[in-house]
Amino acid sequence: MTSPPTLPTAKAPAAVGLVAVALAIVYVVWGSTYLGIRVVVEEAPPMVGMGSRYLAAAILLGLVLSLRNGQGLRRLRVSPRELLGCAALGLMLPVLGNGMVAVAEEQGAPSGVTALLIAIAPLMITIFRFSAGDRPRPASVFGVALGLAGLSYLILAGRTGSADEHIPLAAALIVIFASTCWAFGSWVQPRLTLPKDAFVMTVHEMWIGGVILLVVGFVKGERTDPFAYSGEIWLAWGYLVVFGSMIAFSAYVWLLSNAPISLVATYAYVNPVVAVVLGALILDEPITPAILIGGAVIVVAVAIVISVERVRAPE
């Protein structure tokens, strides 16, 4: 997961086929990253695993940008203030957002449930806007209340259900904290001084977040033994680096400039569905009544908020 850049949406219409391909990438790849994280943390420590992921992705994306247009490393230059803004996003999104997701999944949070809990981010953004003096529409308030009700049911039903339905409370709370940090980072992004080039912003955001995760992981006592990891772990890690942190984000940036924002925003409630299905098919994670009911309520709530807020002028 990476910070959604603030870009203009007005542009000449793109080919329908290209939009469909890019949207499919964002739907499937971003939805599958929860599965990838779950596989990685089975053997690799969460902070170091995600830190190395983001650092590697930043280096690769930085090389790609430097080799294009003959600008070299000059394309990656930013002002001190812009670097500070990237650092703030690196802390809120890769570190406190994605890093905490990895910690939660290591502690037993199923990948599908994690994606459903993360899906409350648009609801949290609405709460942040309200606290800043903005007054969301009544439908948005209803959507937030409905989403929080679905969230409560998902957690409580998972706590009181059978062993197959059990959702570790500590892990669930960590995911909610991660989602709140992700939402705050997304909400505060337009208020920060950032590079105009969204890809350059992403490079700095990812390497700073990756370094912080690595430092915190090592200070925390995490140790890694790359030669002891199975091929499955390396495959999942490489998938997160290349597909999760580079290809899917590039597709998302392209979509923001070539497709209606109302269409692009649908990823927020499609990703959890993809994650739940993949978790069941690949990791045999149970799809319990709590997940079906609570997840459906959360997805509907997010859809309500997105459909209402998309007509508002950008902040």
pLDDT at 201 over 90: no
Mind listing the pLDDT tens digit for each residue in 6-65? 444 444 455 778 888 888 888 889 889 999 999 999 999 999 999 999 999 999 999 998
Contact at 8 Å (CB) between 305 and 140?
yes
pLDDT for 174 = 93
- Distance separating alpha carbons of residues 148 and 151, to the nearest angstrom: 5
pLDDT in tens, 135-185: 777 887 888 788 888 878 877 775 544 454 567 788 889 999 998 998 888
pLDDT in tens, 78-95: 999 999 999 999 999 899
- Distance in angstroms (rounded) separating the CA atoms of residues 170 and 299: 23
CA atoms of 165 and 153, how far apart (whole Å): 12
Residue that wins the pLDDT comparison between 159 and 196: 196
DSSP the chain: --PPP------PPPPHHHHHHHHHHHHHHHHHHHHHHHHHTTTS-HHHHHHHHHHHHHHHHHHHHHHSTT-GGGGG---HHHHHHHHHHHIIIIIIIIIHHHHHHHTT--HHHHHHHHTTHHHHHHHHHHHTT----HHHHHHHHHHHHHHHHHHHHHHHS-GGG---HHHHHHHHHHHHHHHHHHHHGGGS---SSHHHHHHHHHHHHHHHHHHHHHHTT----GGGS-HHHHHHHHHIIIIIIIIHHHHHHHHHHHS-HHHHTTHHHHHHHHHHHHHHHHH-----HHHHHHHHHHHHHHHHHHHHHTTSPP-
- The model's confidence at residue 118, banded by pLDDT at 50, 70 and 90, is confident
Per residue in 245-289, pLDDT tens? 888 877 876 776 677 655 666 777 788 888 888 888 888 888 888
At 269, the amino acid letter reads: Y
